[in-house]
Amino acid sequence: MIKRLATSTILGCGVFFIGSTAGMFTAHAQTAATEPQSQEAPAILFSADEVDYNRELQTVTARGNVEISREGRILLADTVNYDRSQDVLTASGNVSITEPSGEVTFASYVEISGDFKNGIVKDIYVLLDENTRIAGSGARRSQGNFTEIAKAVYSPCKVCADEEDSTPLWRIRAARVLHDANSKTVEYKDARLEVAGVPVLYTPYFQHPDPTVKRQSGLLAPSFGSTSYVGSYFSQPYYWAIDNSKDMTFTPTYTMDEGPVLATEYRQRFDSGEMELYGSTTRDSDDRWQGHIDAEGRFDIDPTWRWGFDAEQASQKTYLSRYGFGSPSVLTSNLFTEGFRDSSYTRMDGYYFQGLKSDDDRDTTPIVLPHMQFHGQTEPAKYGSFTTLDLDGLSLTREDGADSHRVSAKAGWALPYVGSMGDVTKLSLSVRSDNYMVSDVERDGKSDYSGYTGRILPLAAIDWQMPFVSDQGKYHQVITPIAMAAWSPNGGNPDEISNEDSQSFEFDDINLFSHDRFGGIDRAEDGFRTSYGLEWGVYGPEGGYTSAMFGQSYRANANDTFADGSGLDEHLSDYVGRVTVSPSRYLDLTYRYRLDNENLSARRNQVAATVGSMDTLRVNTTYVHFTDDAGSEEFNEREEFYFRADRQFSDFWSGMAYSRYDVDQGDPLEYGVGFVYEDECFIFDGRIRRTFYQDQDLGESDEFMFRLVFKTLGEFASTAGL
């Protein structure tokens, strides 16, 4: 029988420190005896409603709201008994153990060593990161890292608390599950995957990273399917986490009609930047090696300078579309360096292009090396005036066609002024010198030209606007007349200058008030011209607004500076404008137009509207119309309509439908539908797509795709051509 003096009982909430097996017990509470504490091992911190200490048996029993902490681990239970002689701790009743990593283990009974590293657990339930759970009838813990669970179930899915015998959407059942906290892996023996309680897959062994792992080497989810271009295929990617700064993904794909394809992606971060390399290679059915590369890098040299590169090339024009790597119209390779200092900017580039359209020819595609640019601007002077300097140098060569080597300099001065009535005026003066050495430049009605050519082009311009503001209750209305006048000498575009950077031009409300409406240097707007227009807007208190703009331009000389149909080929230009209606976040409508200056017929119409909210139904529509005399060098008459609707049906289900329609031809170009189910543990994404256009040797296509993602495990994807 234990003597009374050998037992100390403390009631009420207390805090107690227990040393290692060789140490002595120290209690701090309402009444306690104090003895020296050993420093051989970290102490265990007790907190409980009641604690009994038996000196003869070297046991401590804690009852009621027991909390024990040691080396960052926290144990909670109704009752805890600690045998100091054996350094064994037993806990029962609502037991939970929280690891320093945040992992929580629940159980009905635990027998564990004093350092919490070894022991057995009954009725275990482990809560990992991202609410992932492992449950089992019992478990064994060893070395503080390994937890082996018998008759285990793993799932990140929630179950309905108000439904009896509710099963998660998916789970893995296994005879044994081993969780390694150090390597952060979860291993299964005799495992089967169940979906809605129905077994669908069995494997004798399976392993995946635990949810705390963001990067780990291993096989990724495979994909398989079939397309009309490559036939049936199977892909099995492998991810290689090389170290903390770089990784790599290998994706070998076997195709029935075109042979195997190997795609590789390499990513690396440096102290000064990052780099990503992506490419593929295959030997097609005609026994030819094919492939592509898509690489990018950005690196800081110092706080002012950085450099980078882009590399894009494909062995065939339709290679990317055929093997599902995208469908761009041009591939651009670029090597550059650039610097930012105060209000100046410097850049040097080299470009190589690969056109993927049917009529693109490598021999006539230009190579740009180098292209040098500088822009500098002074601080405002006494009256707010400032000066600018722009330098540009370019060397452009071809295998077949015109070559152009250019040095250009432009010095400018500007003086902004705000009048007493709120009018804003800006005076601009500049002079530009463009010097060219060219070869084989085609000239209308003349022989090709090779040699020196150039021009000196002064420019004087004045910009003016005067906003009128009216407050009407909570709404503010602004009406702003705008005008611009500019002059430079006629004849600013000699035939000997090859037009390389100003071929694409569109007259609209954006460049109506520009001094020079060409985007590049090879072409310049000359003569006297003026633009005038009116802007109107009404703005609400909650951020909603409606605005409109309408304007026109006048040119003193009707010459061939601008192409026929451009809207600027006559003295009076076409009318351009826009209307924007956005009263709330549920409606955003923009209408841009260009109207003939004689009969107001539409030469260009573009309407973009977004209606609704992603929470319920959101509709996006775009209508584009270009007439055959709109002056575009890219295409003639075009009239298309694009529609897309997105609907959130419930908390988990959403869907979308879209179509692109050729109004001019009366034929669809493309349409598709899709549905997505997503909850905390699972994603299903299914889409059907039909295209009606042809791209060189690739014809119309029907595609079906679905994707299954088992969160925390990986994903499974499949596509199929119909």
Strands 218-219 and 575-584: unpaired
Omega before 370 within 30 of 0, i.e. cis: yes
Please state, in angstroms and as integers, the Cα–Cα distance from residue 591 to each residue in 537, 568, 582, 690, following that order: 15, 21, 12, 29
Q: What is the mean pLDDT of residues 172-196?
A: 87
Tokens describing residue 493:
């575009």
Asked whether the predicted pLDDT for residue 162 surpasses 70, the reply is no
Q: Mean pLDDT over all residues of the chain?
A: 85
pLDDT in tens, 269-321: 999 999 999 999 998 888 889 999 999 999 999 999 999 999 999 999 999 98
- Average pLDDT value for residue range 615-621: 90
Please determine, for residue 716, whether its predicted confidence score (pLDDT) is greater than 60: no
pLDDT band at 636 (very low <50, low <70, confident <90, very high): low
pLDDT in tens, 584-595: 989 999 999 999
Q: How confident is the model at residue 444 (pLDDT cuts 50, 70, 90)?
A: confident
**Neighbouring-strand partners of residue 373:** 347, 392
pLDDT at 632: 53
What domains are defined for the chain? 1-116 (2.60.450), 128-214 (no CATH)
- Tell me, what's the pLDDT at 196? 85
CA distances from 153 to 50, 136, 453 (A): 36, 6, 80
- Residue 245 structure tokens: 């700064």
Residues 538-577 pLDDT 10s: 999 888 999 999 999 999 987 788 888 888 989 999 999 9
Residues with Cβ within 8 Å of 288's Cβ and at least 6 positions away in sequence, in order, are none
Q: Supply φ then ψ for residue 4, to 5 degrees.
A: -65, -40
Work out the average pLDDT over 248-271.
93
What tokens were used for 492? Answer: 């600013």
- pLDDT attached to residue 614: 77
Tell me, what's the pLDDT at 368?
96
- 448 φ/ψ angles, rounded to the nearest 5 degrees: -60, 150
pLDDT of 623: 94
pLDDT digits (tens, 9 = 90+) for 114-130: 777 788 888 888 887 77
This model's pTM is above 0.85: no
Distances (CA, A) of 125 to 106, 128, 136, 192, 330: 5, 10, 7, 19, 56
Write down the pLDDT at residue 163: 60
* Whole-number pLDDT of residue 397: 96
Q: Compare 701 and 81 and report the one with higher pLDDT.
A: 81
Q: How far apart (Å, rounded) are the C-alpha atoms in residues 476 and 406?
A: 50
Who has greater pLDDT, 78 or 227?
A: 78
Res 334: pLDDT: 97
Question: What's residue 210's pLDDT?
Answer: 76
pLDDT band at 138 (very low <50, low <70, confident <90, very high): confident
Can you give the pLDDT at residue 42?
59
Q: Predicted confidence band at 41 (pLDDT cuts at 50, 70, 90)?
A: low
Q: Is the pLDDT of residue 607 over 80?
A: yes
Q: What pLDDT sits at residue 704?
A: 78
**pLDDT surpassing 50 at residue 74:** yes
Q: Are 48 and 29 in contact (CB under 8 A)?
A: no
Q: What tokens does 618 get?
A: 């959101």
Is 408:433 a contact under the CB 8 Å cutoff? Answer: yes
